[in-house]
């Protein structure tokens, strides 16, 4: 069941993110299509979870944790 999240639509309006950020997105997400996210986010800021749904933290916790860990270490190590 897809739904619209106004914040995501507002983000498409060109809000500039000035802090380090990472999007982790499932390629099978039916709530917000991966193709839409990939079109909006620079590739170096987007981690694709193959066959991941909108509930990735529940269904793919190891993949999500590894992506967050790698991102955080990159910030610390510069």
- Cβ partners under 8 Å of residue 28, min gap 6: 34, 51, 52, 53
Q: Sorting pLDDT into bands at 50, 70 and 90, what band is 45?
A: confident
Residue 61's pLDDT is what? Answer: 94
Given a cut of 70, is residue 71 above it in pLDDT? yes
Cα–Cα distance measured from residue 76 to residue 33, given in angstroms and rounded to the nearest whole number: 31
pTM of the model: 0.71
């Amino acid at each position: 069941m897809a739904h619209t999240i106004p914040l995501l639509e507002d983000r498409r309006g060109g809000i500039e993110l000035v802090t380090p950020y990472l999007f982790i997105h499932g390629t099978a997400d039916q709530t917000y299509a991966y193709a839409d996210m990939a079109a909006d986010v620079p590739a170096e800021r987007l981690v694709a979870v193959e066959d991941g749904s909108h509930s990735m933290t529940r269904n793919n916790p190891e993949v999500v944790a590894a992506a967050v860990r790698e991102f955080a270490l990159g910030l610390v190590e510069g």
